[in-house]
Amino acid sequence: MQVSVEKIAELLNGSIDGESGIIVDNLASLSDANSSSLSFLANTKYEKHLYGSRAAAVLANEEFVPKKGEKTPIIIRVEDPYSAFAVVLEQFERSTVIAKKGIEQPVYLSSKSNLGNNVYLGAFSYVSDSVIIGDNVKIYPQVYIGENVTIGKGTIIFPGVKIYANSVIGTYCTLEAGAVIGSEGFGFAPQKNGSLKRVPQIGNVILGDHVSIGSNTTVDRATVGSTSIESGVKLDNQVHIGHNVTVGANSGIAAQTGIAGSTSIGRNCMLGGQVGIVGHLDIANNTQIAPKGGVMSSIKEEGRVLLGAPAMDFAHTKKVWVVWKKLPEMQKRLEALESMIKITNPK
């Protein structure tokens, strides 16, 4: 992708210090950049790398003032350089992916399915009956799409993804390799004889717009109704979302997190890696849970930051851990005190 500094500034609503007609064709860090690279300066501790950088242009904060006498690349001033660089990264990524179109062979494409314009369908993919695929959708090889699935425009589905029947995928979503959408939820009814009777899961999964699903992540379909991943949600690799779960808009969930059935995660929540949440809970908006947190009861108050298993308020848990580390020493002191009591007060 080749683009002028002027076009980048327009995309980001930024202003330019320097020549606007320079062309960039790659993105790089300040230290690795070449004469046609776009880079960014989001943290002033890396400012020293700016002055020796070969980059053609650099995204910087609107208030940034370079040192006097130092030569700098062209500066594109934006409100948030890191977020702006992410926008440009997305444009560069999609410029490569979006160029793909056409139907490779062999594939199975049902005559009852409906494809939009500029769709790419990779080899060995399988598209079932009554599937609706929007414009500019890119489906890489070995993807399975079940009956009655709807896929919104601009969505990218990488190799080996499995989308079960009746799932709804929003616009501009990204499903990484090996993700499974709509597999059967974990529902079993205990019987008097100790066996577990399977409870059929006949609902579906709905993904909102701009949802990202990581590699080998599984989102189970609902028992009845829908498992819902709302717009803007980002799921990392190897996340498991149970049946009838709702994940609120713009929440982020890191790798190896598991959320049990019928739990509702609020909007703008952040869950670290290996968090575990039991079923049938409500997690308030703007909740943050640190890695390895174990949540066993609902969180009603918005904006809490939780740590530990069981998850408790961050500051409180740190105090608990200070005491926990002293337990062996405290045990010795307690045993010494008990011995003194026995000596001074024999039975």
CATH superfamily membership of 3-97: MurE/MurF, N-terminal domain (3.40.1390.10)
Six-digit token string for 87: 């926008």
Mean pLDDT of 12-20: 89
Sequence ranges of the chain with CATH classification 3.40.1390.10: 3-97
pLDDT digits (tens, 9 = 90+) for 187-242: 899 999 999 999 999 999 999 999 999 999 999 999 999 999 999 999 999 999 99
Considering the candidates 49, 210, 243, 280, report the single residue annotated as catalytic: 243
Sign of the torsion formed by the C-alpha atoms of 104, 108, 110 and 111: positive
| Distance, CA of 1 to CA of 100 (rounded, Å) | 14
Residue 157 has pLDDT above 80, yes or no: yes
* 74-78 and 15-17 strand pairing: antiparallel
The verdict on whether 210 is a catalytic residue reads no
Quote the pLDDT of residue 98: 64
The DSSP annotation for 26-94 comes to: EE--TTT--TTEEEE--SGGGHHHHHT---SEEEEETT--PPTT----EEEEES-HHHHHHHHHHHHHH
pLDDT digits (tens, 9 = 90+) for 105-134: 999 999 999 999 999 999 999 999 999 999
Average pLDDT for the chain: 93
Residue 327's contacts (CB-CB under 8 Å, 6 or more residues apart) are: none
Under a CB-based contact definition with an 8 Å cutoff, are residues 242 and 259 in contact?
Answer: yes
Six-digit token string for 104: 């490779």
Q: How confident is the model at residue 312 (pLDDT cuts 50, 70, 90)?
A: confident
The DSSP annotation for 193-231 comes to: TS-EEE-----EEEE-TT-EE-TT-EEEPPSSSEEEE-T
Sign of the torsion formed by the C-alpha atoms of 311, 264, 146 and 116: negative
CATH architecture classification, 102-314: 3 Solenoid (2.160)
Rg (CA), the chain: 26
Sign of the torsion formed by the C-alpha atoms of 13, 14, 20 and 23: negative
Work out the percent of the chain whose per-residue pLDDT is above 90. Answer: 74
Quote the pLDDT of residue 227: 98
pTM (2 decimals)? 0.82
Sequence ranges of the chain with CATH classification 2.160.10.10: 102-314
